[in-house]
Copies of this chain bind each other. A is one copy, B any other.
Amino acid sequence: MKCSIPKGTRDFLPAEMARRNYIFDTIRQVFRSFAFEPIETPSLENLSTLMGKYGEEGDKLLFKVLNSGDFMEGVDFGQDYRKVAAQICERGLRYDLTVPFARFVVQHRDQITFPFRRYQLQPVWRADRPQKGRYREFYQCDADMIGSTSLLNELELVQMIDAVFDKLGISVTLKINNRKVLAGIAELIGAPDKLTDITTAIDKLDKISLDDVRAELRDRGLSETQITALDPVFALSGPAEEKLAQLAQLFANNAVGTRGVEELKELFGYIALVQPRCTVELDLTLARGLNYYTGAIFEVKAQGVSIGSICGGGRYDNLTGIFGMPDVSGVGISFGADRIYDVLTELDKFPPDLGQPAQVLFINFGAESMPYCIRCAAQLRSAGVSALIYPEAAKMKKQMEYANRCHVPYVVFVGENEIASQTLTVKDMATGTQTTVTPDQLLQEILHA
């Protein structure tokens, strides 16, 4: 029988787990220091909760779970497969953390204290075509604050992004935009109904030329006058404050655009106070695919590597509306752990000492020395040191090979002399030096190493 796992899924070996946990622990620690609270939602949601929330394409990519028992009873299999699927599958796997969070907030509104700050680190599943860096099961790391419209929330998200990537040692550029500015631009050129077309096209400005963007706008039905009217927007230059001043003039008679500029001014003012270590840019071409953002939009890219966005987010004013709870504004960010993993690998920025299973290995010389070894190992472990007795009295060479392969820093030898003097002979594997110490001395050395 051949062993394999489904396409697009992964096993994680201990060395990969150590690196992944380093990323998760860093993100979690920052989330906690900003007083976000953890929640978890089930992997399985009712399909009625998920369907229609991610567009037509998303519906196709939902993993559907077959009903238990005789799922065929009363089902007409002469219909289109999509209709059959809806009848034989009531549940599906979580597609993202945002829609389940909205469902959670509405369902538990009476148990939640608003403003509510939650973080969630859980896997999601998408029946996407697997390719490099794209998996069918992957983790999302989300933090959202809900029930407050204050821009202090946006500032805190900026500070969190800055803290996470500073701790990870990745230089990043954080791009910020505001949906209201994009809406203002669409109104300005007399094409408010073409907001999505305009943002989709100008979102590509970092990949294609300005002329190609203009051609795409033409294809999407904008007139030459409208396209030319965009010129002042493309011509904006200078630092964020200057761009915003120029925009404010353009928006002199446009309410939504003016509001967007004011929000950005306030946010950039806050950001100046905290002096983030990352590069923060105002990027009016940033739109992101998601249609539900209504205010700030964030996107983070690592400097010096050609890997896409590693973190993104924004403000949404009506996420819970679809579940019958209107007028709850929220703002959140999502870290892409898999891409961050790729960035750290490419930049060789993982700490070197991750994933060391045992700090101490006791060489097994047979039954006689076991009682003493067992007691010494127990002493180390109860102080939090990871210790291991080689389980068999195997050949010395084999045991030392094991120590090397597992990168154990201290190897302990116990013979008659050590038992008599209640000591341990310890080999420091990094330096090769060998010393005889008491168990307590070894413990102190490890704890203060």
Which residues in A have some Cβ–Cβ distance to B below 8 Å?
1, 3-6, 9-14, 17-18, 21, 29, 32-46, 48-49, 60-61, 63-66, 68, 70-72, 77, 81, 84-85, 88-91, 93, 103-104, 106-108, 111-113, 115, 117-118, 123, 125, 127, 136-137, 145, 148-150, 152-153, 155-156, 159, 163, 270, 273-274, 322-324, 355, 357-358, 364, 370-371, 374-375, 378, 381-382, 384-389, 391-392, 402, 405-406
Contacts and interface: CB of A to CB of B under 8 A. Distances in A.
A35 B362 CA distance: 12
A33 B273 contact: no
27 contacts: A1-B322, A3-B49, A3-B106, A5-B42, A5-B46, A9-B42, A9-B43, A11-B39, A12-B40, A33-B386, A35-B388, A43-B137, A44-B136, A64-B66, A65-B66, A66-B66, A66-B88, A70-B81, A72-B81, A72-B84, A113-B402, A115-B392, A145-B391, A149-B392, A152-B370, A274-B375, A274-B378
A14 B1 contact: no
Contact of A39 (B13, B77, B93, B375): B13
Chain A contact residues: helix, strand, loop or mixed: mixed
Contacts of A153: 391
A71 B82 CA distance: 9
Contacts of A84: 72
A101 to B, nearest CB: 10
A351 to B, nearest CB: 17
Nearest to A36: B357
Contact of A11 (B33, B46, B108, B149): B108
Nearest to A359: B35
Given A3-B323, A33-B381, 12 more contacts: A3-B49, A3-B103, A5-B41, A5-B45, A5-B49, A13-B112, A17-B37, A18-B38, A21-B38, A35-B358, A36-B357, A66-B85
A41 B11 contact: yes
Given A65-B66, A391-B115, A45 B6 contact: yes
Given A33-B384, A34-B386, A125-B44, A357 B117 contact: yes
Nearest to A18: B38
Nearest to A270: B374
A49 B371 CA distance: 42
A430 B148 CA distance: 27
A38 B35 CA distance: 28
Given A108-B13, A113-B405, A273-B371, A33 B64 contact: no
A77 B406 CA distance: 53
Given A1-B324, A72-B84, A357-B117, A38 B65 contact: no
